[in-house]
Structure formats: structure tokens, C-alpha cells
Amino acid sequence: MATEHRASGTTLHISGDLDAATAPTLTVRVDEVLQIGGDIRLDLSKVALLGSAGLAAPVHARKAAAVVSTSL
């Protein structure tokens, strides 16, 4: 996972598989970025496999962003 910081917000570039093994890492990283502040974007364009647990990570990100009034 690569992180790109810009004045307009932070983009997390996810590649490879997003599944039960990797989703917790994304969830933790999203929470860290939200604590810093600013908008957050998830770039899933290079995700090869999206498992059901992997799908839960972006859902968590959206809910967490809403709690702190940040856009996702």
C-alpha cells in the first residue's frame, strides 16, 4: 500500500489482494490518516482480488470518515 499526501488530502493506493489477510492493515492505515485530518481517497484500481473481508475495509473507511466529517 502506497500513501500519497497532497494539499487536497491523502490517497491510499492499494494493490494486489484485498482480503481477510490484508484488510486489517488497510483499516488501521485509514484510521491513522483520519486522525491526521483532511480528505481521504482509496485507489482500488490495482486490486486484483477483493474478498468479502476486503470489501468490509472500504465500508469501514466510509463510516469512519463520516464520524469525523471527512469525505472519502
Q: What are the residue boundaries of the structural domains of the chain, listed by start?
A: 2-67
62-68, Cβ contacts within 8 angstroms, sequence gap of 24 or more: 64/30, 64/31, 64/34, 65/34, 65/40, 68/34, 68/37
pLDDT of residue 8: 84
Per-residue pLDDT reduced to its tens digit, 40-58? 999 999 999 999 989 999 9
pLDDT of residue 33: 92
Q: State pTM to two decimals.
A: 0.85
Q: What is the pLDDT of residues 59-72, one digit of tens each?
A: 999 999 999 888 88
* 2-67 under CATH 3.30.750.24, yes or no: yes
- Please write the tens of the pLDDT for every residue from 22-38: 999 999 999 999 998 88
